[in-house]
């Protein structure tokens, strides 16, 4: 068994134009002051990180890590959630997702997709230069508009979508192999990889690629009514990253899983700050320890009610309180009789 590392904080929800959230130096000091010892970095945010430099300069990466260490935190992973989303975009979402890309590729889906692939590739190279072994991203989605089968889906539609998704990601997975970095897809509604079954469909199409792995975030499973504890046991060999995020699902006679197009505050399923929702984190941290997860417990703060700075500070202590320092011996070792094979055979009546 292994003890999870943490607490760490995903910085995407906190980066901004005001101090202390507008520079790498100040935000890492703030995170350490909140009680974190690690930070997960949004690779698209130029206020904090220069992706091009990181992909091409080991010196830049050493300085970047060094400044974080001087401020009391370690870089845990890089994220390409926004860029990964753009590797596969259904035309229905073209306008909405253009804002994730560089201005020069807006309105040009082909150029935008090529830009996104290059961004993910740069982030994998940067991860190598930073000495990181895991990287988080989204898969993107081609089939998501057809998630609910009405009207009936044409035969082969989903298969074609997943074939294409695998075709787009396979070169990136091969580059990840060259870099020694795991690609950890955050299994998430809105992505074609949104549950265990869809992850398996994709994994099969990339020939069970060793670098095709998973980020576990129980909040998304609560809102899907999926058994997230069983999920850990099923995919323990592919779960390489962990977002610690809470959620609640309170269906009524008026709405359920789909939320009736309501705002987050008014939905039956809502993301909450750690400890304010329904996720069984005692069970999750126990499963992670028993299954030898040796990655980071990274707080991803998302809450429709609580102020983010309060959620961040409370989240650091919440994770500290839930990390299990695993035992190196069995609790009943004091009763060890010191038997040997001969004694074992005698006890079993074997001559």
- pLDDT number for residue 340: 86
Question: Predicted confidence band at 329 (pLDDT cuts at 50, 70, 90)?
Answer: confident
CA distances (Å), 98 to each of 45, 186, 255, in order? Answer: 16, 21, 31
What's 78's domain CATH number? Answer: 3.20.20.150
- pLDDT number for residue 346: 86
What percentage of the chain carries pLDDT values higher than 70? 99
- pLDDT number for residue 332: 72
β-strands 182-186, 212-216 pairing: parallel
- Per DSSP, 33 falls in state H
Residue 335 has pLDDT above 80, yes or no: no
347's enclosing H/E stretch is helix 341-347
Residue 142 has pLDDT above 80, yes or no: yes
Residue 347 has pLDDT above 90, yes or no: no
Distance between CA atoms of 44 and 67, rounded to whole angstroms?
Answer: 19
Cβ–Cβ < 8 Å for 4, 295:
yes
- pLDDT number for residue 339: 79
- List, for residues 109-122, the tens digit of each pLDDT value: 999 999 999 999 99
CA 328 distance to own-chain centroid: 29
To the nearest whole number, what is the mean pLDDT of the chain? 96
The domain tally of the chain equals: 1
What percentage of the chain carries pLDDT values higher than 90? 93
Q: Is 57 exposed, middle or buried (0-12, 13-18, 19+ CB in 10 A)?
A: middle
For the chain, how far is it from start to end, CA to CA, in angstroms? 37
Question: Predicted confidence band at 351 (pLDDT cuts at 50, 70, 90)?
Answer: confident
Please give the backbone phi and psi of residue 61, each rounded to the nearest 5 degrees, phi first.
-65, -40
- List, for residues 274-286, the tens digit of each pLDDT value: 999 999 999 999 9
Domain holding 210, by residue range, is: 5-347
- pLDDT number for residue 205: 98
- List, for residues 3-61, the tens digit of each pLDDT value: 999 999 999 999 999 999 999 999 999 999 999 999 999 999 999 999 999 999 999 99
Question: Predicted confidence band at 333 (pLDDT cuts at 50, 70, 90)?
Answer: confident
């Amino acid at each position: 068994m292994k003890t999870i590392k943490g607490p760490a904080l995903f910085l995407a929800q906190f980066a901004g134009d005001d101090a202390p959230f507008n520079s790498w130096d100040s935000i890492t000091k703030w995170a350490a002051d909140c009680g974190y010892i690690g930070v997960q970095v949004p690779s698209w945010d130029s206020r904090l990180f220069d992706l091009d430099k990181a992909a091409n300069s080991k010196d830049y990466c050493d300085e970047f890590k060094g400044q974080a260490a001087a401020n009391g935190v370690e870089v845990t992973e890089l994220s390409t959630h926004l860029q990964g989303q753009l590797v596969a975009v259904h035309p229905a979402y073209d306008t909405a997702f253009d804002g994730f890309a560089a201005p020069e590729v807006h309105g040009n889906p082909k150029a935008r997709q090529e830009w996104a692939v290059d961004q993910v590739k740069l982030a994998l190279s940067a991860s190598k230069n930073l000495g990181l072994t895991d990287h988080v991203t989204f898969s993107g989605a081609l089939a998501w508009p057809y998630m609910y089968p009405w009207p009936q889906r044409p035969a082969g539609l989903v298969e074609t979508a997943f074939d294409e998704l695998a075709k787009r990601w396979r070169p990136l997975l091969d580059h990840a192999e060259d870099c020694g970095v795991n690609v950890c897809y955050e299994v998430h509604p809105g992505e074609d990889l949104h549950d265990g079954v869809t992850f398996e469909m994709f994994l099969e199409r990339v020939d069970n690629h060793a670098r095709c792995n998973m980020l576990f975030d129980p909040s998304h499973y609560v809102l899907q009514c999926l058994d997230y504890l069983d999920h850990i046991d099923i995919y323990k060999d592919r779960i390489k990253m962990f977002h610690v995020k809470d959620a609640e699902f309170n269906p009524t006679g008026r709405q359920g899983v789909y939320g009736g197009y309501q705002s987050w505050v008014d939905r039956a399923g809502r993301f909450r700050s750690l400890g304010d929702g329904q996720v069984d984190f005692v069970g999750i941290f126990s499963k992670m320890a028993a299954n030898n997860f040796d990655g980071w417990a990274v707080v991803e703060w998302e809450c429709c009610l609580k102020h983010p700075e309060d959620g961040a500070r409370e989240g650091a202590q919440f994770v500290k309180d839930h990390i299990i320092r695993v035992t190196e011996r069995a609790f009943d070792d004091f009763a060890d009789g010191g038997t040997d094979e001969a004694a074992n055979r005698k006890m079993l009546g074997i001559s």
